[in-house]
Amino acid sequence: MAVIKLQRPKLNFGEKIYFGALIKGFFLTMTHAVKSLRGKSAGADSLASSGLGVTMQFPEQRWDEHLPEYYRGAPTLVTDEQGRERCVSCQLCEFICPPKAIKITPGEIPSDDPWAKVEKRPKEFDIDMIRCIYCGMCEEVCPEQAIFLRKDYLITGLKRADMVHDKDKLYQIGGVRTGLVNKWNELK
């Protein structure tokens, strides 16, 4: 194994007596303090903060419009433009979910339904948001592009039961997503 011997830097007299560095340090910290108090912290604009520091003050100042496209918020289920469920309850997401937050009860689509050809849809679809780690694996594994991570990040509740998103809630957050999905193709 290579051993790298570090040579301590040779300090000159001014650096040894340390006072110069102290005063420089005081100037640095005081500049930051004064700038913060005047509401002119460096980088405050680009981070959309109040100027008192670069911190965004949350309930008043929101991050929403600064969220990047790839932001991974709460996982949701989506319907297509005709209001049909995309999920076919294959349970791949339940299988891959690292913290086992997803619980699916598969159900059959009755034969009199116009989309009986799809055969299955979820009867129950629960995501426990206390367990969810927002990894996005469910979105990646979904063969039907039915589960997406949306930009919702304020998942709060007063009870444990509130934190479990059921099917209605998931569809409510997820909304409609347009785009071609093969299984709806009549010709296939």
x/- string (CB under 8 A) for another protein, residues 144-173?
------------------------------
Q: Considering the rule CB under 8 A, would residue 95 count as an interface residue with another protein?
A: no
Backbone angles phi, psi at 158, to 5 degrees: -95, -20
Q: State the amino acid at position 186 in one-letter form.
A: E
11 near another protein, rule: CB under 8 A? no
Segment contacting another protein (CB under 8 A): 19-27, 115-123, 152-160, 175-183? 19-27
The closest of 81, 80, 71 to 139, measured between CA atoms, is 71
* 138 neighbors 100 (Cβ within 8 angstroms): no
Q: Could you say whether residue 133 binds another protein (CB under 8 A)?
A: no
Angle in degrees, CA 66, 72, 76, rounded to 5? 120
Min dist CB 111 to another protein, Å, is: 56
Please name which of 134, 129, 110 lies closest in space to residue 169, comparing C-alpha atoms: 129
Give the count of residues interacting with another protein (CB under 8 A): 20
- Joined together, the tokens standing for residue 136 give 């996005």
CB nearer to another protein: pick between 3 and 161: 3
Distant-in-sequence, close-in-space partners of 24: CB < 8 Å, separation ≥ 6 = none
Least Å distance between CB 61 and another protein?
Answer: 11
For residue 104, give both structure tokens: 């699916």
Q: Does position 36 bind another protein by CB under 8 A? A: yes
Is residue 63 a contact point for another protein (CB under 8 A)? no
> Would you tell me which residues interact with another protein (CB under 8 A)?
22, 25-26, 28-30, 32-33, 35-37, 41-43, 50, 52-55, 57
